[in-house]
Amino acid sequence: MPGTSTSSVAAADVGLERDIFTRQLLRELAGTLQEVVGLDDASGYISVVGTAMGEHIDARYREALAVERLSREQVSEVLVDLKRRIQGDFYVIEETEDRIVLGNRACPFGEMVRDRPSLCMMTSNVFGHIAAQNLGYAAVSLPETIAAGHSHCRVVVHLRPTEDLPDAAREYYQR
């Protein structure tokens, strides 16, 4: 057969492996949803998946730590740790009785998140679900995101209902 041999195909540097493939797949899925149904509805669909992921992740941490509920300090540590495990670079900026403010220097989706703000609903829903299930309530706002073109993310997890929540904050309640 003319052309490239199988051994050179296998050795070709095409930059394709499972992680990159999966992130590209999610990027394309989010982009298609944003184009077909709009950003709000795309975010809604991704929110459903984020809630399911939050349930699984919360259960795993509570089981591993052998606790029925995580404390506020543990919630904060879990939010940072879970993102670290998936190659995010989250860190606590502020932690009070009323809120946890996190920063992030690296999105787990990498560059694939650019122009895909609906993917940020994964963070909002996973964080919101974990905080609400363990602490009773959460509202998550994402005032700065890499997806929106910022060099970093800023995530605010409000732990008490308040009248001065940002308009874009999503509320989560304990089930």
**Domain extents for the chain?**
17-173
- Give the pLDDT score at 126: 97
The percent of the chain in helix, strand and coil, each rounded to the nearest 5, is: 50, 15, 30
CATH T-level fold of 17-173 = Muramoyl-pentapeptide Carboxypeptidase; domain 2 (3.30.1380)
Query: Mind listing the pLDDT tens digit for each residue in 55-65?
Result: 999 999 999 99
CA distance 70 to 132: 10
Which stretches of 38-119 are DSSP H helices? Answer: 39-65, 72-85
Of residues 71 and 2, the one with the higher pLDDT is 71
Q: Whole-structure pTM over 0.85, yes or no?
A: yes
What are the residues whose beta carbons fall under 8 Å from the beta carbon of 156, sequence distance 6 or more? Answer: 99, 100, 101, 102, 140, 141, 142, 143, 166, 169
Share of the chain above pLDDT 90, in %: 78
* Strand 137-144, strand 90-95: pairing: unpaired
Q: Which strand (E) or helix (H) includes residue 23?
A: helix 18-37
Look at residue 154 and give its three-state secondary structure.
strand
